[in-house]
C-alpha cells in the first residue's frame, strides 16, 4: 500500500504487489498531471509498504510531508540543492532517499566513492527506512554513522 500524493490525476492509496516500482504506483494513480516534470523521480525504485510518494511537489509544501505524517520516505522532486534542506538551526540536512551523489558528498565522512555506494544500496534495496540502515552500506561503520546522522534525513 502506497499513498500517492501531489500532482497526479487520482491521488490516494494504491495497492500494489510487493516489489512494485514507482512507475507502477504513478500509473495506478492515473499518471502525473500535464506539465509535471518527473525527471527527479527515480521511476525504477522499488517501493516500500506504507510510504508516501509525492509527485511534482517538495516534501513539506502542504501536500503532506513524510516527516509530518510519519510515513515512510517520500520520493519527491528535489530542489536545486540536490536533496538538501535546512533544519531550524540552519544546518543543511541531506535526504538519503532523494539526494544525488553530490548531495550525499555534503555529509561528513562521505566522499564520492561512499556516495556512489549509498546510491547503489538505495537502487538495490529501495528507500532507506532509517538513517541507521546506512550501516548496511559498505564502508560506513558506527563512527561514520555517528558523524553524519545529525545531518541525514529521510
Q: Which structural domain, as residue segments, surrounds residue 99? A: 80-154
Per-residue pLDDT, averaged over 52-77, amounts to 50
Instruction: Name the band, by pLDDT with cuts 50, 70 and 90, for residue 52.
Output: confident
**C-alpha–C-alpha distance, residues 124 and 120, integer Å:** 6
Same domain, 41 and 4: yes
Q: 62-69 long-range contacts, Cβ below 8 Å, gap at least 24?
A: 63/5, 63/6, 64/3, 64/5, 66/154, 67/153, 67/154
Let me know whether 2 and 34 are in one domain: yes
What CATH number does the domain containing 134 carry? 1.10.150.320
Q: What is the mean pLDDT of residues 44-54?
A: 85
DSSP 113-144: HHHHHHHHHHHHH-S-SSGGGGGGSTT--HHH
- 37 and 92 fall within a common domain: no
pLDDT of residue 58: 60
Number of domains in the chain: 2
H or E, element range at 145: helix 142-148
**98 and 141 together in one domain:** yes
Q: In this predicted structure, what is the pLDDT of residue 98?
A: 87
Query: Do 37 and 94 have their domain in common?
Result: no
pLDDT band at residue 89 under the 50/70/90 scheme: very low
pLDDT at 127 over 70: yes
Judge whether residue 129 has pLDDT over 90.
Answer: no
Predicted local distance difference test score (pLDDT) of residue 153: 85
Residue 45 has pLDDT above 80, yes or no: yes
Same domain, 154 and 85: yes
Same domain, 46 and 29: yes
The pLDDT assigned to 28 comes to 92
Answer yes or no: do 84 and 40 share one domain.
no
Which has the higher per-residue pLDDT, 31 or 49? Answer: 31
> How many residues does the structure list for the chain?
154
The residue-averaged pLDDT of 30-44 equals 86
Measured on CA atoms in the order 130, 146, 139, 154, is the torsion positive or negative? positive
Q: Say how far apart CA 154 and CA 150 lie, in whole Å.
A: 12
**Residues 131 and 70 grouped into a single domain:** no
pLDDT at 23: 92
Q: Which residue is associated with the grid cell 538513517?
A: 131
- On average, the pLDDT of the chain sits at 77
Last residue of a domain, one of 35, 53, 77: 77
Amino acid at each position: 500500500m502506497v499513498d500517492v500524493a501531489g500532482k497526479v490525476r487520482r491521488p490516494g492509496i494504491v495497492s500494489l504487489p510487493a516489489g512494485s516500482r514507482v512507475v507502477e504506483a504513478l500509473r495506478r494513480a492515473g499518471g502525473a498531471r500535464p506539465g509535471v516534470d518527473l525527471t527527479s523521480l527515480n521511476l525504477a525504485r522499488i517501493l516500500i509498504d506504507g510510504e508516501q510518494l509525492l509527485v511534482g511537489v517538495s516534501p513539506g509544501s502542504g501536500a503532506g510531508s513524510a516527516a509530518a505524517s510519519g510515513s515512510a520516505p517520500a520520493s519527491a522532486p528535489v530542489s536545486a540543492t540536490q536533496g538538501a534542506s535546512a533544519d531550524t538551526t540552519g544546518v543543511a540536512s541531506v535526504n538519503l532517499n532523494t539526494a544525488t551523489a553530490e548531495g550525499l558528498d555534503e555529509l561528513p565522512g562521505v566522499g564520492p566513492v561512499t556516495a556512489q555506494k549509498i546510491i547503489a544500496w538505495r537502487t538495490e534495496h529501495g528507500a532507506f527506512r532509517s538513517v541507521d540502515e546506512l550501516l548496511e552500506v559498505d564502508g560506513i561503520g558506527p563512527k561514520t554513522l555517528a558523524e553524519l546522522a545529525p545531518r541525514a534525513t529521510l
